[in-house]
Amino acid sequence: MTEIPEHLRKRAEEAKAKAAAKAAEGAPAEAAPAPAAEAPAAAGDSKIPAHLLERAKAARAKSAGGGAEASGGGGTAVATAAAPAAPVASGPPLAAGPGGHTQRLLTVVKSGSIQDVKASPQDKVHVWPHLLSIEFVAALFCLSFLLVFSIFVNAPLLELADYNKTPNPSKAPWYFLGLQEMLTMFHPMVAGVLLPGIGMGGLMLAPYIDRNPSSKPEDRKFAISLFTIFMMACATLTIIGSFFRGPGQLFIFPWAEGLFFEL
């Protein structure tokens, strides 16, 4: 069945109504324009595309030809005139939307499938100024604290060194006692270079090995375990070198032999 656009059918019905109104007023039949001819004229005034006009003409010609075949050879003129009065009923176009209305593609397809309507959220920020500004403020705070603390508390310095009187035991500052404790157990190359290098290298590689972005402690078992082992090892060696080493760097019990520790 030939598809006839809805607006052409409406214009044909309007032309038919006008013709019927003029006939009722007593207008001559010759002066009344044929509905079939009026519809294209009205359609042409509204700038209807040419391919739609051709399709409507072909549909009218086909319906007129079918009516002539049904009435015989003498009924050709009657069928031609009556064809516009009874337009061919046809279903909605193949590309019609709900209710038989034709729609453009962009009004049917969701905008999200053809364009990015909203940028995806970013969970990263620049190092400057977000990180370095915080670290700079923290450094200023630590410097201010040390300045005020040094004004009110003197450094625990001893008298001038005397090479004729060497203290026994001779210990390094407390923050080096862990390294001095390892020197009593291993070769200087191992205790002073190899083991500290392995520890510092492991801490530097930890963020690249454990790339878990979570900030919850229960989700960062590897990082927390590694840092705990490092801190406990340093703390244990420092405590042993501070309180459990006496004259000659021998192992003692501080509650029995006394405390050989100075800041």
Give me 236's structure tokens: 């244990």
Q: How far is CA 100 from CA 12, 90, 177, in A?
A: 19, 11, 89
Angle at the Cα of 9 from the Cα atoms of 7 and 13, rounded to 5 degrees:
115
Give residue 6's pLDDT. 80
146 vs 77, more confident: 146
Give residue 167's pLDDT. 83
Over residues 172-198, mean pLDDT: 90
Give residue 111's pLDDT. 56
Least confident of 10-14, 62-66, 223-227, 258-262: 62-66
CA distance 92 to 145: 84
* Tens-digit pLDDT profile for residues 22-60: 888 764 544 444 444 444 444 445 567 788 888 888 888
Contact 83, 64 (CB under 8 A): yes
Over residues 171-185, mean pLDDT: 89
* Tens-digit pLDDT profile for residues 95-149: 555 566 565 555 555 555 556 556 666 778 888 888 899 999 999 999 999 999 9
Over residues 59-78, mean pLDDT: 60
Structural domain boundaries of the chain? 6-93, 127-156, 167-263
Give residue 48's pLDDT. 76
Which phi and psi angles does 32 have, rounded to 5°? -70, 120
Long-range contacts formed by 61-69: CB under 8 A, 24+ apart: 62/2, 63/87, 63/88
Residue 187 has pLDDT above 50, yes or no: yes
Least confident of 33-42, 170-179, 182-191: 33-42
Closest CA to 239 of 254, 224, 225: 254
Give residue 96's pLDDT. 56
Q: How far is CA 47 from CA 9, 16, 41, 44, 102, in A?
A: 16, 20, 10, 5, 18
Give residue 140's pLDDT. 97
Contact 206, 217 (CB under 8 A): no
CA distance 244 to 86: 115
| CATH code for the structural domain at 167-263 | 1.10.287
* Tens-digit pLDDT profile for residues 196-241: 999 889 888 888 888 888 888 888 888 888 889 989 999 999 999 9
The predicted model scores a pTM of 0.44
Contact 12, 35 (CB under 8 A): yes
